[in-house]
Amino acid sequence: MAVKPPGQRFSGAVPVKDGRASVSMRTLRTVRPGARGTMALVEEFGERLVCVRYRYDDSAGKCYTTAEIIVREGEWKPRVDPPKADPMVWVRVRWGERDVALRIREAGGCWDADRRLWNMPLSKARALGFESRIVEESSF
């Protein structure tokens, strides 16, 4: 059996006994442990056996039985998905509230002249204490 040198990956070809890699090898069947034809490998590898594959090399005229086994077990933490994007909300500011409009603009808000409302991220509106000023989209 060929050993992978550190830092390198095997190609899709499977090494054979004489050390050459067969490019024409194909897998026709993959079976789970306990299925017909896997009992000897189940006895040999036990719970470590993941699956058994039957590979065929047309150019060499050979059939190979391969076993996928677990060789090492370790801790793994799944990747945490990035936080969802902060939804944008519409905020109403009455005429003459220049200080409120200025605070919204500094927080990244944009004025929409057609709607006559400010558009800004929900988290910023909450941080500024503008929950009561938020306008639902269905109301305009």
DSSP line for 30-94? EE-TTSTT-HHHHHHHGGGEEEEEEEEETTTTEEEEEEEE--------PPPPPPPPPPEEEE---
**25 DSSP assignment:** E
More confident residue, 36 or 4: 36
Residue 2 has pLDDT above 60, yes or no: no
> Using CA of residue 126, residue 131, residue 133, residue 137, what is the dihedral sign?
positive
- The pLDDT score that the predictor gives to residue 1 is 45
Q: What residue spans define the domains of the chain?
A: 14-69, 88-139
Residue 94 has pLDDT above 60, yes or no: yes
- Note whether 17 and 57 are within 8 A (CB): no
> Does pTM top 0.85 for this prediction?
no
Please count the other Cβ atoms lying within 10 Å of the Cβ belonging to residue 62: 13
- The pLDDT score that the predictor gives to residue 10 is 43
> Using CA of residue 36, residue 40, residue 43, residue 49, what is the dihedral sign?
negative
* Residue type at position 81: D
The SS3 of residue 128 is coil
Work out the burial of residue 125: count CB atoms within 10 Å of its CB; fewer than 13 is exposed, 13-18 middle, 19 or more buried.
Answer: buried
Task: Please provide the average confidence, as pLDDT, over all residues in the chain.
Answer: 84
- The pLDDT score that the predictor gives to residue 49 is 96
Residue 57, sorted as left (phi over 0), alpha (psi -120 to 50) or beta, turns out to be beta
